[in-house]
Structure 1
């Protein structure tokens, strides 16, 4: 078996464990690993979203089992994410997605600071009542397709910065991500079949993608349980620190490139 399988199994396990617990990072971590191997942004995004279909299904099942999902929020968030993901895929296969990356990083940093402030103030969480879940999903799906990972940082961070319950925000975001991943993967397939986009890289890195799938599926049930048992304030601190760290790290990468 190709050594890349075991390497990416470890990457997928760690990324999904963090993503399932904190509502973000699977796409960012997995895409970064593929990009480091020289894979183009479009091929990396397509590969990661193909893996997300399987890991997302396992993650959604785990969060549903542990009652971490707000069903009223799930539907509009998923619909918005599907539309945004399809639009983002079309853009990514047409232009260089790196052009809008700095704006995503800036938003990420601001949301992280807001979440850390709420954790510091020990602000009491409320039910999922954000007034525009559809548009929020659309923006998250768009950035997720373009950046190969952005659904969690945009959606989870926005929900938490508005004071939502961390468990419900993370569980609902992760469950909706399944439908977004399916839509984005279907969009990439459509782009290939229609001749809009051509790439042979996914076949070249098949073992890496299979490793991401295997690692993510193994980690998903564990992450759903951890989200359920961790204290809300601790979960909020962890999410805030992760978001700010990711924003700083990506900002440094942009400057160095």
Structure 2
């Protein structure tokens, strides 16, 4: 019975997250903690889930769009260094003290996006080169390894603002990065013994199904629909971080 419940939770969380670019871990990690799973194990299990479902989400969002592999190379390499240190912080530091700060930053980014109605709706010329944009991979990768909730929003705004991507293209590129970073983070957590087989064996199938269905729906409905979902879910998650997990 618990396995069915875990499957359904992972499916619904990933369905919502893959449509909007919102965080799946904001939903799943508190529930895993309620099941008695320690925080590093919950985060490690979530990273393993992510490494399985983001591939199909990236495919759905990018199958008719160009992929900037040069940009992804720079972001991913800088990001892997950040992921390494992010996982170390999660294991050794109480993340509770940082959650309100993350909530404030995320909420400000949601407001920034809402005040710029054209941001992410249509593609535009880049405002920053690939090399300098790649440097953003360091803090984004750190956050992915440390906590990860809302990182799709952070990364998408960076790509929309610096490289002129529309929101669907930005999300597709993020999901490729998330696959690389999540695999590396999951290996780090598993290597140190922070995993729960009973949890991931039920949550991974639900996450894969939810990620596929959600990203397929988001890619069909278009950038305007995804941006509306993006703003609503981002506001909810930022307030949740700010006032309580």
TM over 0.5: same fold?
Answer: yes
**Contact conserved, 1:80 with 1:135, CA < 8 A, in 2?**
yes
Aligned match of 1:115 in 113, 116, 121? 113
Which ranges in structure 2 are unaligned for 5 or more consecutive residues? none
Structure 1 segment 203-218 matched on structure 2, within 5 A: 203=196, 206-218=197-209
Residue matched to 1:159: 159
Q: Residues 234 and 128 of structure 1: is their aligned pair in 2 closer, same or farther, counting only changes over 3 Å? A: farther
Question: How far does residue 64 in structure 1 lie from its aligned partner after superposition?
Answer: 4.2
Which ranges in structure 1 are unaligned for 5 or more consecutive residues? 193-197
Q: TM-score, normalised by structure 1?
A: 0.82
The question of 1:8 aligning with 2:10 is answered no
Distance 1:166 1:122 in 2: 4
Question: How far does residue 87 in structure 1 lie from its aligned partner after superposition?
Answer: 0.8
Aligned residues: 242
Residue matched to 1:136: 136
Instruction: Give the ranges of 4+ consecutive aligned residues of structure 1 lying more than 6 Å apart after TM superposition.
Output: 120-123
**Contact conserved, 2:25 with 2:46, CA < 8 A, in 1?**
yes
Q: Residues 6 and 82 of structure 1: is their aligned pair in 2 closer, same or farther, counting only changes over 3 Å? A: same
Distance 2:121 2:167 in 1: 12
Question: How far does residue 209 in structure 1 lie from its aligned partner after superposition?
Answer: 1.9
**Contact conserved, 1:20 with 1:59, CA < 8 A, in 2?**
yes
Aligned match of 2:69 in 62, 68, 71? 71
Deviations 1:79-108 (CA, angstroms, capped at 9, x unpaired): 232221111001111222223222211111
Question: How far does residue 159 in structure 1 lie from its aligned partner after superposition?
Answer: 3.3
Distance 2:71 2:50 in 1: 21
Structure 1 segment 1-257 matched on structure 2, within 5 A: 3-67=1-65, 69-119=67-117, 124-126=122-124, 130-131=128-129, 132-160=132-160, 164-190=165-191, 192=192, 202-203=195-196, 206-253=197-244
